[in-house]
Amino acid sequence: MTKNKILATTIMGVLAVTATSAFAGAQYIFPVEISDNADGSGEADGAIGTARHEDNETSEIGCYIYKYGTSTTVRATCYASDADGNYRVCDTTNSALIDIIRFVGDGTWIIFDWDASGKCTSADMENASGYEPKAP
């Protein structure tokens, strides 16, 4: 065999092996879950991509940051709705929490807590390759 034929045969062999091999990294599925406490406080968590791909019309989770008109107050709201249609929302002007909420993306796992008055008391945003991205 000539060098070109050996090279071509080697390349074809490598392509055949890699074409039939499936590679996948870690994949995490976190449906939206809501936990209520007796005092009116609670916690919600879930991954944005998982919520988007749930087989129901109610699952969603997210956070957004906003400011109205000429106000200097920046606010953030986090919300969650589980597969049973339970909906919870919390609001904050706490700048440390707003800094964390800024990290929400298509592949984010969100956890947030609220007190009895509906104020957000904690927020955790985790972006990782294992969380499926939101897709159509």
Confidence of residue 24 (pLDDT cuts 50, 70, 90): low
Token look-up 């104020």 returns 119
Whole-prediction pTM value?
A: 0.78
Tokens of residue 35, six digits: 């936990």
Contact 42, 115 (CB under 8 A): no
| Residue 134: per-residue pLDDT | 64
- Cα 11-13-19 angle, rounded to 5 deg: 100
Model confidence at 25: pLDDT above 60: yes
Instruction: Give residue-wise pLDDT tens across range 112-132.
Output: 999 999 999 999 999 888 887
